[in-house]
Amino acid sequence: MLLSLFKPRAKRVSVTRLGQWDLDRPLLEWTRGEVWSVRDALEGALIVGATGSGKTSGSGAAMSRAMLEAGFGGLVLTAKADERALWQRYCAETGRSSDLLIFGPDHELRFNFLDDERTRGGAGAGLTENIVALFSIVLEVAERRSGGGGGREDDGYWRRALRQLLRNLVDLLIIAGRPISVPELYRLVVTAPVSLEQATSDDWKAESFCFKCLREADARAKSASQERDFELVADYFLLEFPGLSEKTRSVVVSTLTSTIDVLNRGVLRELFSTSTNVTPDQTADGRIILLDLPVKEYAEVGLIAQTIFKYAFQRAIERRDVTASPRPVFLWADEAQHFITSYDQGFQTTCRSARVATVLLTQNTPNVYAALGDGETGKSRADSLFGNLNTKIFHANGDHVTNEWASQLIGRTRQLFASGNSSHPTSLIDWGDAPQSSGGFSEAYEFEVQPSVFTRLRTGGPGNGGNVDAIIVRNGRVFPTTGKTWLRTTFRQG
């Protein structure tokens, strides 16, 4: 019954006279007197709704325009081919067209993510382990896409062995003074010795790119730390690696080469292994970087490209000094289940202090459970991520798991139920008897908003006059006008 009393409409609020990056500056008015502020945005948002529910054109459009109008920088991930045009329109409508940078095969922007990690500023720049972590994320996405992802008892060994190989490849390039790129890593690994005999062979030394790098690294001036690292690298490539059993070595090498193969050719090689004229930290200056490699069009290529850029963005924005660079930025992902990785869970626990507004849109919660792995591990990771997205917006949905979860978030209240019955004579013999009736009341704790309510929300379109209904749930705080943690509102499609 309470739901029927609330049919307000969300709208964007005008710029106030508060400080430009004041955390209490309103961005969006859900209803009269109920606002979504910069502070709320930085606590993250999850928008859930079935295909055609109006989540993108309803709450998604309102929130994206609000952040653009406020001057946020941002990174936009794309799943569908029409998202570039959509964001171009949003930027034009909010006066931000000059800030929009489009990264994709048909554009001039390039990002050598490995060399950027090596040459960037900051105390952690050039650390081998940070570069190796980039590849671990790529491997995770590639395994998920191929239907792999673990389960074997010895998975831990193979992952450690792969990271060891990557660590030595990267260290060798750095100490040799060469740029780090996927093609260089590939050349190194395929020319490394495969036996102890080959490692001492003059023919191998004359032809091997790996040995050429070892020789260059040996000749270069090195710090004391690099001297110790080089000893480990040389021992690895001349003793340990060729001394592995053929089966073990081939598994480790093929895992690496099959993972980076897609980065070593075509579109991804051009985008990520040439030069750099755009970096994720430009979002802190107000740029909106749109990754124009929609997954529905580019499939695995688009997924890997956007995962790389997203991870680099997350690491870059976490490093910034918000006292010197206070502008909020957003991370926007429609069809977010495609782009979620295990790193997002930890990122969302700390990104508020880095002034990042994460907005994830998806059809239902099982999508995210599946993306983060089967079983309880994937579910616990997803639940942790959801728990740190404090604004949750639910649109029309037919998925019972999602609808029951939404009802559980809102919670149960003590409700009063009335019951009654009556009886009347049913035969000529009983006509003289008076009718009988009884009634009673009972109390029970029931969902304040039943799961079925989410199946009846309006989805926009001509039949609904362009109106999109949603129920907003906010963690830990109540809406002043209702005294509850949830609110029903209506968005105009746009």
Residues 434-463 have pLDDT tens digits of 666 666 566 656 788 999 999 999 999 999
The pTM is what? 0.85
* Whether the predicted pLDDT of 427 surpasses 60: no
Tokens encoding 297: 């069009």
φ, ψ of residue 103 in degrees (nearest 5): -110, 115
Q: Give me the amino acid identity at 361.
A: L
Tokens encoding 284: 């802190």
Q: Where along the chain do its domains lie?
A: 2-103+312-412+450-492, 113-268
C-alpha 409/C-alpha 429 separation (Å) is: 56
* Whether the predicted pLDDT of 371 surpasses 90: no
* Whether the predicted pLDDT of 143 surpasses 90: no
pLDDT, position 278:
96
pLDDT band at 485 (very low <50, low <70, confident <90, very high): very high
* Whether the predicted pLDDT of 410 surpasses 70: yes
CA end-to-end distance (rounded Å), the chain: 29
| Least confident range of 86-100, 125-139, 175-189 | 125-139
Task: Kindly state the percentage of the chain with pLDDT values over 70.
Answer: 85
| Three-state DSSP state, 338 | helix
Question: Sign of torsion, CA 154 158 164 167?
Answer: negative
Annotate 115-136 with b (16+ C-beta within 10 A) or e (fewer): bbbbebeeeeeeebeebbbbbb
* pLDDT per position as a tens digit, 238-269: 999 999 999 999 999 998 898 888 888 889 99
Tokens encoding 421: 């019955």
| Least confident range of 124-128, 164-168, 264-268 | 124-128
Rounded to an integer, the average pLDDT of 139-164 is 69
Question: 212, 205 in Cβ contact below 8 A?
Answer: no
From the number of C-beta atoms within 10 Å of its C-beta (0-12, 13-18, 19+), residue 387 rates as: middle
Q: Tell me the average pLDDT of the chain.
A: 87
C-alpha 405/C-alpha 365 separation (Å) is: 9
| Three-state DSSP state, 486 | strand
Q: Give me the amino acid identity at 50.
A: A
Rounded to an integer, the average pLDDT of 76-93 is 97
| Least confident range of 263-267, 292-296, 418-422 | 418-422
Rounded to an integer, the average pLDDT of 52-76 is 97
Rounded to an integer, the average pLDDT of 24-38 is 92
pLDDT, position 446:
79
* pLDDT per position as a tens digit, 330-354: 999 999 999 998 889 889 988 999 9
pLDDT, position 11:
58
Higher pLDDT, 429 or 51: 51
pLDDT band at 146 (very low <50, low <70, confident <90, very high): low
* Whether the predicted pLDDT of 75 surpasses 60: yes
* Whether the predicted pLDDT of 158 surpasses 50: yes
Q: Strand locations in 245-310, DSSP E? A: 288-291
- Kindly indicate whether the domain formed by 2-103+312-412+450-492 is annotated with CATH number 3.40.50.300: yes
* Whether the predicted pLDDT of 274 surpasses 80: yes
Higher pLDDT, 134 or 163: 163
* Whether the predicted pLDDT of 237 surpasses 60: yes
pLDDT, position 447:
82
Rounded to an integer, the average pLDDT of 304-323 is 92
Place of tokens 């969006």: 28
pLDDT, position 4:
36
